[in-house]
Structure 1
Amino acid sequence: MPSDAAPDQSAADGYLQRAHLLAELGRYDEGIGELTALIAAEPAHLPALTMLARMHLAADRPAEALAAAETAVVAAGGTSERESPASEPPAFGTLAAETTTRDVPGAVPPAAGAAADETPAQESAGAETPAVGEVVLALVARGFALLDLERWKPAAATADEILARAPGDPYAQRSAAALLSASRNGQAALDAAWRGVELSPDEPEAHLVLGLVAVRLQLFDLAERAYREALRLDPELGEAGQDVGVARLERRRYAETLEHLTAMADLPVARPDPVRTVDDGIRRLLLSVAGLSLFGSVLVAALAPASPGASRLFAVLAVAGVAVLLRRPAMWRPGLREAMSRGLVVPVYAAAAAVVLLLAYALVGGPWPLVGAITASVVAGFTAFARR
């Protein structure tokens, strides 16, 4: 009955939310306790089972993770993992010569026709049967657990199943590529990694997996380019190994493995450029200030003919909003002067002028401060954007 279902769903969501928050704080045992209580009431609750498996993985308990993931796969309608004898660890780098046609300049390959237009299954739940996405999440957790237990053949079989179930999902492709790279290696892993990049060229994790696969195939030039591209998309990726929780479980595992492999291969891997990181942070701040100033100035100009007093009050509120953006000077002031010397002087002065002119309108009124504020906001926004 609907009246009974709503409270049950609400209670289940509460358990999941509490478990997720506890996991992001690194308190895995308490989060597992929340999920255990939910699973005791609903033994086939798929999101709880999948999150439980991921929590055990994050807590370095692969055997418990495998048991939870196996139950989740069965609950999602997937096939149970058949026992397979463990094989020897794969010999990495066996297909480096075979894949030279893929090793082209740049980590991002050309778009593969209609494939580039496909929408990731995780980002549009309606584009694919929900059960497929749910079983893929459970299969990925099972694959990671099998890798941690060094059961290479079942892990490779799990990766093959992921590829078969979700050929158009970038998350499935890069997850399967990582599993294949660690368990069996070869052309299939590289193909899946390229496919993941083609489907989501703006996802840093896709390039990270491509770099991971390339290192294991001894395609070191490709690996370095892929990792540089991942860092360009997310400068904080170099510190991903310090993350906790389950939201970025894959990202953390990939970053740690890639760092370990590159250290073994004595491969120099790019690190975030601190100068560029500072400049990017200040540029984003300038874009935010310019956008807020422009929005406030236009709205104030629209209100001014009908209600000058209200428009001037709103100008004060807009300036206060900018002050909130700048509330932590320690985050931007130390590098501001150096960033200006590297080409950000125009957007800095333009953004400051926009705020001052908006404040001047609030104090004295008149159309010219508003015209100047709008003009300065536009100049600040365009020049900051052009300095990417």
Structure 2
Amino acid sequence: MGPDLDPETTPEEYRQRALLLADLGRYDEAAGEIAAGLSAAPDEPSLLTTLARIHLAADQPAEALAAAERAVAAAPEALTVLIVRAMALTDSRRYADAAQVASDILRRWPADAYAQRTGAALLSESHNGQEALNAAWNGVRVAPAEAEAHLVLAVVAARLQLFELAQRAYAEALDLDPAIGTAQNDVGIVRFERRRWAQALEGLADDAALPVTADEPPVDDGPYPEPFPRPYQAPDRPEPQTPPGYSSASWTGEPAVSRPRGPVLDSSAEEAGTFRRGAQIAANATLIAAVVSAAMSTASDGISRAWAALFGLIIVVGVTIWLKRSIPGPLSAALTRLRSSHRSLAVALYLSLAGPLLLPVYALVGGVIPLIVGMLLAAAATMVVLIRS
């Protein structure tokens, strides 16, 4: 049950409450605060971005991606929004899309310390290689006095099996901030990126021979293979303001993480719109392909049947791939939600995908009946979509 709405509470105050609750591992209650804020400001990018981070911290990538996509729609040029979207894409195993977003971040903010180190780490997660290593080096060059820049370099180097470089980068990170040694055990979303990179490095620690706990000091093998200038400390992202009377240092127990138990965002309308477009695309393409195949039969029955089979397969496969890429999370789960909340639209979608399957049937048996049936199914799907709309 979400918090009571207070007309005098601003969206930012709801967000600050959510940050404090998330810092205690109470992600369910934190999501409730964000839901209350979104009821007053449904398109507020900071609330949507914070919600995406809560879901990421709670290991709910599908929900995180839904919130991130909403945030991108509201603020497509915001750095923090793009970063959280790249994280959600990575955790949803959409690595190519995540790598594209990370590369865009690195290109658009070449002198921003936060953008460079985070973009490098995200690129390493989704498409590790020389580009990620170059970006990690640049992150250290831009902010040589920031421990997280060296932590990211250690992660990227370890993934590339450059273990000597990884050891030295991690040692430098610990020298700058000893708390890096226990960052993988942090809870909350204020330092979510730091915990993410520390956990990644912990998974690589056996191969890289890295000490990832504060009790085990790193081996100091000397400076980096090439020198790093340290002219200044670049500015980092602003920390959230702490309300009076609250001290994170007072929390000494082990927080029990409580994940959000239900969706905060109502994505059924957006999913229904995507399925509606998919049904329309499949139905219209089927009608066109059937007419073209029938016309080609007057010249050559064999060529007409061959092209009909190809048309049918392209329509079904193409629309299915488009739906999988357009809908966050598993397509099967989205179809289950569609059948429960929009039955008529589900019928239209299945009819539109059944229609093009009649084209390969026409290729096998010939005759105009399969083409006519396919066109009728496509027309019925279109009619149901129009009535449903």
**TM-score class normalised by the smaller sequence:** 0.5 to 0.7
Structure-2 residue corresponding to 1:218: 161
Cα distance change on mapping 1:34 and 1:186 into 2, 3 Å: same
Give CA deviations for 1:44-92 in whole Å, capped at 9, x if unaligned: 10110110110111111111001111111121134xxxxxxxxxxxxxx
Is the contact between residue 193 and residue 206 of structure 1 (CA under 8 Å) also seen in structure 2? Answer: yes
Is the contact between residue 242 and residue 252 of structure 1 (CA under 8 Å) also seen in structure 2? Answer: yes
CA distance in 2, matches of 1:275, 1:267: 12
Cα distance change on mapping 1:55 and 1:266 into 2, 3 Å: same
Structure-2 residue corresponding to 1:60: 59
Structure-2 residue corresponding to 1:208: 151
Structure-2 residue corresponding to 1:49: 48
Letter in 2 for 1:60: D
Is the contact between residue 228 and residue 270 of structure 1 (CA under 8 Å) also seen in structure 2? Answer: no
Equivalent residues in 2 for 1:64-143, closer than 5 Å: 64-78=63-77, 135-143=78-86
Give the CA deviation at 1:25.
0.9
Structure-2 residue corresponding to 1:18: 17
Equivalent residues in 2 for 1:1-388, closer than 5 Å: 11-78=10-77, 135-263=78-206, 265=207, 267-269=209-211, 271-272=213-214
CA distance in 2, matches of 1:275, 1:164: 36
Letter in 2 for 1:201: P
Letter in 2 for 1:267: A
CA distance in 2, matches of 1:181, 1:223: 14
Cα distance change on mapping 1:273 and 1:76 into 2, 3 Å: same
TM-score (norm 1): 0.52
Letter in 1 for 2:155: L
Give the CA deviation at 1:229.
0.4
Structure-2 residue corresponding to 1:3: none
Give CA deviations for 1:85-123 in whole Å, capped at 9, x if unaligned: xxxxxxxxxxxxxxxxxxxxxxxxxxxxxxxxxxxxxxx
Structure-1 residue corresponding to 2:358: none
Which secondary structure state, in structure 1, belongs to the residue aligned with residue 10 of structure 2?
Answer: helix
Is the contact between residue 224 and residue 270 of structure 1 (CA under 8 Å) also seen in structure 2? Answer: no
CA distance in 1, matches of 2:217, 2:138: 33
Structure-2 residue corresponding to 1:314: none
Which secondary structure state, in structure 1, belongs to the residue aligned with residue 187 of structure 2?
Answer: coil
Give CA deviations for 1:337-370 in whole Å, capped at 9, x if unaligned: xxxxxxxxxxxxxxxxxxxxxxxxxxxxxxxxxx
Give the CA deviation at 1:31.
0.7
Give the CA deviation at 1:272.
3.5
Which secondary structure state, in structure 1, belongs to the residue aligned with residue 156 of structure 2?
Answer: helix
Give CA deviations for 1:250-291 in whole Å, capped at 9, x if unaligned: 11110011110122x252436546799xxxxxxxxxxxxxxx
Give the CA deviation at 1:219.
0.9
Give the CA deviation at 1:9.
8.6
Is the contact between residue 120 and residue 136 of structure 2 (CA under 8 Å) also seen in structure 1? Answer: yes
Which secondary structure state, in structure 2, belongs to the residue aligned with residue 139 of structure 1?
Answer: helix
CA distance in 1, matches of 2:199, 2:102: 20
Give CA deviations for 1:132-169 in whole Å, capped at 9, x if unaligned: xxx11111111111111111101101101211221111
Give the CA deviation at 1:17.
1.4
Cα distance change on mapping 1:267 and 1:275 into 2, 3 Å: closer
Of all paired residues, the percent bearing the same amino acid is 54
Is the contact between residue 136 and residue 165 of structure 1 (CA under 8 Å) also seen in structure 2? Answer: no
**Highest relative contact order (Cα 8 Å, sep 6+), 1 or 2?**
2
Structure-2 residue corresponding to 1:306: none
Give the CA deviation at 1:220.
0.8
Give the CA RMSD over aligned residues: 2.1
CA distance in 1, matches of 2:217, 2:123: 37
Give the CA deviation at 1:8.
7.5
TM-score (norm 2): 0.52
CA distance in 2, matches of 1:56, 1:270: 26
Which secondary structure state, in structure 2, belongs to the residue aligned with residue 167 of structure 1?
Answer: coil
Cα distance change on mapping 1:66 and 1:12 into 2, 3 Å: same
CA distance in 2, matches of 1:32, 1:237: 27
Is the contact between residue 211 and residue 223 of structure 1 (CA under 8 Å) also seen in structure 2? Answer: yes
Q: Greater helix share, 1 or 2?
A: 1
Letter in 2 for 1:150: R
Letter in 2 for 1:51: T
Cα distance change on mapping 1:52 and 1:209 into 2, 3 Å: same
CA distance in 2, matches of 1:9, 1:159: 38
Gaps of 5+ in 1: 1-6, 79-134, 277-388
Give the CA deviation at 1:26.
0.7
Is the contact between residue 210 and residue 223 of structure 1 (CA under 8 Å) also seen in structure 2? Answer: yes
CA distance in 2, matches of 1:261, 1:242: 16
Give CA deviations for 1:201-257 in whole Å, capped at 9, x if unaligned: 111110000000101111111000000000111112111111000001011110011
Letter in 1 for 2:46: P
Which secondary structure state, in structure 2, belongs to the residue aligned with residue 245 of structure 1?
Answer: coil
